[in-house]
Amino acid sequence: MPAPIEELREQIVGLLPRLRRFARAIARNPHDADDLVQIAIERALARSGQLRPDSRLSSWMFGIVRNAWIDEARSRGRRERIFAPAELGENIGDPAHETQSDMLAVQEAMARLPEEQRIAVGLVLVEGVSYKEAAEIMNVPIGTVTSRLARAREALQAMLADTTGALR
Amino acid sequence: MKFSDETLMAYADDELDPPTRAAVEAAMAADPELARRVARHKELRNQLRSAFDKVLDEPVPDRLIATARTAPADRRADNVIPLRRKSAPRWSWPQLGSIAASLVVGAILGQLLLRASITGPIIARDGQLLASGALAHALSNQLASDQAQQAPVRLGVSFRSKSGEYCRTFLLREPSALAGVACRGREQWRVQVLAQSGQAAADGGQYRPAGSALPRLVLQAVDEQIAGEPLDASGEAAARSRDWRH
């Protein structure tokens, strides 16, 4: 029998720090990331009857965040692709962000990855989810997860090597 | 031995089975270039992790917490009955949800039976609890889809049990607020489950997510006993016309 709704609500509250971290890894800026988490919470509660007793809440929620992000990205479409690089650039000169330059470099590199690669990285490398769990969340075979991760890593290593090289 | 980059990556992510893992470690010991590639994978992982771990230290925005605590929820998650049916009885689970209920322990039940007069709502006979008086009358005659707001007994969901009997949930307002399930035996309504509710009246039918745990015991009993879907208004009327006999 599924947990009563009040229990579920509190479990979601407990998961919020991780959901925000995952959303930050896949969305383009902190504001979008929190909007994404908000949409995911709403969807999760509206569909809470679909949560099976044997499934892990974190995996289920990551899946909802991922789907919500893909829906959002699709609906924003072209506008996003045009403005995203400028938005990223704006943060660089902001003194509040200077102390977080390492984070910024990583985020900027992440933002350049294709959506599905970024999601794989967010799940496995940021959230520490197993390949198998990530495959279930992304609804793809494990082999697809590993190949996305391998390509993403290669791209990230190249970009981050560039960044650190440029800063020095 | 040669290892693909994916294998080295899986090693860094601790995803290899023990034999492959041992093979990679042996190869790394012999080949510094291999060890360097693995180290790069681990380093990237640490870099990503430490960049985003900072998010965990940030205070969670209030609006997100508020959304988690108040956004509308699928009622099915609050246990038991899928509310998919087209025409629900008017006294719905959400109304029941406004009743904080707890299991009737012996003491409460004893009090109830003592207080109940000969025409009281529940009597004990031959080791069974039977509906009596106003409760028995309501169970036999009152339709959930057509009942007075202030009726002393409110009927909730009616359903066929797995053993083929008709069962109904009820809320008794007097002498104390009790919710329960009664099933129609050959002659009488047997009270299967009784749970005390903290509040006598439903709150005007508003769904209140906060603090509105359903009388779990009642819901669980329905969940365990129900065969198929609850009766809709016409099913309820048809059952009444057969005097709730199958």
- For the stretch B40-90, pLDDT in tens is 999 999 999 999 999 999 999 999 999 999 998 876 544 433 333 333 333
Question: How many structural domains is chain A composed of?
Answer: 1
Looking up residue A82, the CATH number of its domain turns out to be 1.20.140.160
Contact B162, B227 (CB under 8 A): yes
Distant-in-sequence contacts of B15-19, Cβ < 8 A, 24+ apart: B15/A130, B15/A131
Range of the domain at A50: 5-167
Residue in chain A closest to B49 (alpha carbons) equals A126
Q: Spell out the residues 6+ positions from residue A152 whose beta carbon is closer than 8 angstroms to its own.
A: A113, A117, A118, A120, A121
Q: Spell out the residues 6+ positions from residue B187 whose beta carbon is closer than 8 angstroms to its own.
A: none
- Contact status of A124 with chain B (Cβ, < 8 Å): yes
ipTM above 0.85, yes or no: no
Tokens of B229: 């879907």
Residue to substitute from B74, B79, B223, interface A, most A β-carbons within 10 A:
B74
Distance from B153 to chain A by nearest Cα, in Å? 27
Range of lowest pLDDT (A81-85, A107-111, B9-13):
A81-85
The answer to whether the CB atoms of A150 and B9 lie below 8 A apart is: yes
- pLDDT on residue B3: 87
Residue to substitute from A19, A24, A41, interface B, most B β-carbons within 10 A:
A41
Distance CA B129, CA B127 (A): 7
Domain assignments of chain B as residue spans, ordered by start: 5-57, 75-241
Alpha-carbon torsion (B133, B136, B142, B148), positive or negative: positive
The answer to whether the CB atoms of A153 and B41 lie below 8 A apart is: yes
- For the stretch A51-92, pLDDT in tens is 887 788 999 999 999 999 988 877 765 444 444 444 444 444
